[in-house]
Amino acid sequence: MFSLENRKNNTKYVVNGTSEYILSFFRTTYTDTNTYTDTNTNTDTDTRKKIGYGIFVLHLLFGTLLIINLVFSEVNIYYLFYSAILLSILFLNYYFHGCFLVKIEKYILQDPLWSGPSEFFLFPLHLFYTPKKDIINKYVKYFWAIPVTTVMVCKYLFDDSLVYRFIGLLLFGLLAPLIFIPSQSNIMSCLMS
């Protein structure tokens, strides 16, 4: 399950299957005769762009709301839920060798240079050159993931509840090594050996 070949196959299966399901869901178009017709083609670039940018907006909105809740909320039962979501996202990024939502957006938009919400924040750089994947991954890791997880862990560690302090210690032990592991490294094979 964690071998490189299995992860590549699983990533391809999830991305292609989810993308095709989303595309098939929106393939029905409304025509001037007020009847629904199935275009059943993948070449409708306008529809693909609308769907791809729609997923991008949802991706950006979900990420922004998650970060806002993790940074500004108090530690309570909902905060545990937000923390679990963030941990899932972090480890899925290592498993899928990047964000699977970005891979779905890239598949639907048919743009090999697409980099997801970081495209939005790094837009001025795209005017001068095409940033490499490594630069984008470092940007996401060092300017978003590490600060948000640091705030999250500190909120747990400095809470009055011993249970939340213990959770903070567990999260610190779990997340601290990820700072030193490159985000596109083969972490899963390291865990299994």
| CA 120 to chain centroid | 14
Query: Is 122 within 8 Å of 136 (Cβ atoms)?
Result: yes
Q: How many CA atoms lie within 13 A of 36 on its CB side?
A: 5
Q: What residue spans define the domains of the chain?
A: 4-192
Q: What stretch of H or E contains 47?
A: helix 45-72
Nearby residues of 184 by Cβ (< 8 Å), 6 or more positions away: 97, 98, 133, 134, 137
- Which of the two residues, 182 and 116, has the higher pLDDT score? 116
Instruction: Render pLDDT for 144-192 as a digit per residue (tens, 0 to 9).
Output: 888 999 999 999 999 999 999 999 999 998 888 877 776 556 655 555 5
Nearest-angstrom CA–CA distance, 80 and 97: 25
Quick one: tokens of 120? 């939005």
Q: Percentage of residues in the chain with pLDDT exceeding 90?
A: 40
8 A C-beta contact, residue 90 and residue 178: yes
Find out whether 188 and 95 touch, Cβ atoms under 8 Å: yes
